[in-house]
Every structure is written in C-alpha cells, then in structure tokens.
Amino acid sequence: MVSMKDISAVCGVSVATVSKALNDQSDIGQETKKRIRQVAEEMGYFPNTAAKMLKTNRSYNIGVLFNHEDYSGLTHDYYAFVLDSLKRTVEEKGYDITFVNTSDRRAGAMSYLEHCKSRGFDGIAIVCTDFYSPEILQLVRGNIPIITLDHLFNNVCAVMSNNVQGMQDLLTYIYKKGHRRVAYIHGADSSVTQSRLSSFYRTAAQLGLTIPDEYICMSPYRDTKGAYAETVRLLELREPPTCILYPDDFSAFGGFNAIQERGMRIPDDISIAGYDGIRVARHIEPTLTTLRQDTEELGKMVGEKLLSLIEHPKTTLVETLVVEGHVFEGNSVADISGRNKEVPRKGKKHVVTDSI
C-alpha cells in the first residue's frame, strides 16, 4: 500500500505537506497541491482508515444492532427494508455500516458498548434487539451517539413509525367500508403492540363500535400457526366478525389459510387486514389490505438524524421523529356498506348443493 511517505519522497516534500495538500488545507500553495494530488492519483494512493481513525477518533463507520430472535433482522421484511434505506442514506455521506457483533455474550467477553467503543463506531443505530436487556441499557447510557427505531429511551433520539395513527387510519378505513364487527388479533406484548392496541380501542370507541372481548386476542408476530388457530376460533363464534385484523402481514397469511380451508372467500365472505405492507403481500391475490409502514422514510430518518447527532452534537435536538404510514388498499377488505342498510334477512340463504 502506498502511503503519504511514498508520495512525499516522490514530490520532495514532507509528509505533513502531503497530508495538508490532500486535506485541502489553506497553508499549501496551489502549485504544490496540484502536484501532490496528481502524484497521489498516479501512485494509486488511498488513505489508511486505521491510521486516520487512530489519530482523529472518527471512523466514518456506523454500527447497527440488528438481531431478532434467533436470526438477525435480516430475515424480517420490515427491518430489512429499513436497514436498506438506512444503508443507502449513510453511504451517500461516506459512512459504512457494520453489524454490532452479537455472538459472544459470555461473561468476560466484550459487552455491546465495549465492542462499539473498541471498533470506534461514530454512532449506533439500534434497529431491532431486545430493548430490555441490561446490555442495551449500558449501551444507550454510554456516550456514543445513539438512535433507536420503534422504541423510546429517556434522553435518546428515536424514530417511530406512527402506530397510533396507523391503527386509527386502518380501522377507520375498515369502518368506512361498512364493517361493524371487527376483530383484532394483536401481537405479543411490546410498546408497539401497546400503541396499536390502545389506538384500536380508542378509535373503535370514537367510531361507536362495540368490540366484544372475544374479538380481541393475541398471537405472536409472524406466527402463522397462531393466527390460524385464532382465526378458526373467531370464525366459529356465534356471531363471527366481518373483518379480522392481524398483528402483521405474515400472520395474515395464517388467517388466509384458515379461511380458504373452510371454503370461504376473501373478501366476499370475510375481510382481513394486515400490518406492515411487506412486499409479497402485494403480489398475491387477493392482495392484502394493510397499513404500509414507510420503511424508506424510516431508514432515511434514522440515518439522517444519527449523522446529525454525530456531526453536530451540540445543536442536534434529542427528539423523537414520527413517520407516518398509509393504508394500502388491497382486495382483502370488502365494501359492505350497502349491506348495513338492507333489511336483516331471516334464516339462511338458500344454497343449492350439487350432488354428483
């Protein structure tokens, strides 16, 4: 690797002059600058990041904390898209992205914070992790610029997808389509779940919907089997819902299966809606009506705010940025507003069964 020393030898100047020339300092003559730069180019010079880091305490490297259950967030559409956007945002500004090593969690091994300091990350984006672990707490207490996604810590910047507004929009949309019996299978307990669930109740109350307790139940996120089971239960109620909300799109496929298996059609016989707006859900018929979270904007916000925190630590506000999603209108929620005005029918609809 060609170093500044090599360039200085060729140009017959000192190493300091080379450094200053390449960093465009004012106390080097135009002529000399031009010559040094040209030689550097010709010799194929590029800076040694390690040496630069050592001297300047800047790595132009962002650490991301990104693990989810047994896997990393990589296998999760929502997080993956956020990370992708984040990556593009910071790369544009000359930063690289490194995963915070989450492997060695033995006692005595480096903690997250130590690892991050050791690597010299300029900042850290906590995208997904177990926010309640003591190690994470230690990390956010450390004095590296930090930003979290979808979780609030005291005195730490955060980017949040607006789950309150999102659920309100989704439920309102469904209400406007004429649905009055809406069930909600919510995800496992977390701050995100709390936001959505309380927004669900509040919105329902505002709309004048009465939600029987049996319409509300839990199934873990992305668990198709759980969603399947709860869907079956809901369908077998004396008065089943006309629309079911799922914790997320993936879960909605579990409901989809249960419904199809019973020979019912979506959305003719029952409506469903997901949450997230994962890609595949837009490519399977019936396309899923869902609250699409703006992963592009979320990632961009995380990146921009973190860089601001790094580059302007004094003037950057510690605040929570909220990103809005929007209802993606698929084909999984029927418009039954007409039905509400009909005179209630008595008995069952006559069905012709064809015998072979």
Partner DNA sequence: CACTTTTACTTAATCGTTTACCCTACTCTG
Partner DNA sequence: CAGAGTAGGGTAAACGATTAAGTAAAAGTG
Please report, as ranges, the residues that interact with DNA according to CB under 7 A. 1, 3-5, 12-17, 19-20, 22-23, 27-33, 45-48, 51-52, 54-56
DSSP code, position 130: -
Task: Give the 3-state secondary structure of residue 241.
Answer: coil
Distance CA 49, CA 44 (A): 15
State which amino acid sits at residue 64: V
Out of DNA, a second copy, none, which partner does residue 354 contact, by CB within 5 to 8 A per kind? a second copy
Distance CA 189, CA 221 (A): 10
Classify residue 69 as left (phi > 0), alpha (psi -120 to 50) or beta. Answer: left
* C-beta of 129 vs 203, nearer to a second copy: 129
Least gap, CB of 176 to a second copy (angstroms): 27
Rounded alpha-carbon distances, angstroms, from residue 266 to 108, 269, 288, 292, 329: 55, 6, 10, 20, 14
Least gap, CB of 78 to DNA (angstroms): 38
* C-beta of 44 vs 347, nearer to DNA: 44
Question: What number of CA atoms fall less than 13 Å from residue 251's CA on the CB side?
Answer: 27
* C-beta of 30 vs 355, nearer to DNA: 30
* C-beta of 106 vs 238, nearer to a second copy: 106
Residues 6+ apart with CB under 8 A from 128: 65, 66, 67, 68, 73, 76, 79, 149, 150
* C-beta of 179 vs 300, nearer to a second copy: 300
Distance CA 101, CA 63 (A): 9
Q: Say whether residue 102 binds a second copy (CB under 8 A).
A: yes
Element (H, E) at 243: strand 243-245
Nearest alpha-carbon partner for 62 in 43, 33, 89? 89
Q: Say whether residue 257 binds a second copy (CB under 8 A).
A: yes
Least gap, CB of 231 to a second copy (angstroms): 13
Q: Say whether residue 81 binds a second copy (CB under 8 A).
A: yes
Distance CA 240, CA 61 (A): 53
* C-beta of 205 vs 280, nearer to a second copy: 280
User: Could you say which of 47, 142, 220, 240 contacts a second copy (CB under 8 A)?
Assistant: 47
**Contact map string, positions 180 to 219, toward a second copy, x by CB under 8 A:** ----------------------------------------
Distance CA 2, CA 243 (A): 67
Classify residue 234 as left (phi > 0), alpha (psi -120 to 50) or beta. Answer: alpha
Q: Say whether residue 224 binds a second copy (CB under 8 A).
A: yes
Q: Say whether residue 103 binds a second copy (CB under 8 A).
A: yes
Out of a second copy, DNA, none, which partner does residue 59 contact, by CB within 5 to 8 A per kind? a second copy
Q: Say whether residue 44 binds a second copy (CB under 8 A).
A: yes
Rounded alpha-carbon distances, angstroms, from residue 307 to 116, 124, 270: 16, 10, 47
Least gap, CB of 114 to DNA (angstroms): 11
Stretch that binds a second copy, among 7-15, 17-25, 46-54, 319-327 (CB under 8 A): 46-54
Within positions 109 to 128, which residues make up the interface with a second copy, using CB under 8 A?
110, 114-115, 117-120
Name the site residues for a second copy (rule: CB under 8 A).
1, 44, 46-51, 53-54, 59, 61, 71-72, 74-75, 77, 80-81, 83-84, 87-88, 91-92, 94-99, 101-104, 110, 114-115, 117-120, 224, 250, 253-254, 256-257, 260-261, 279-280, 283-285, 352-355
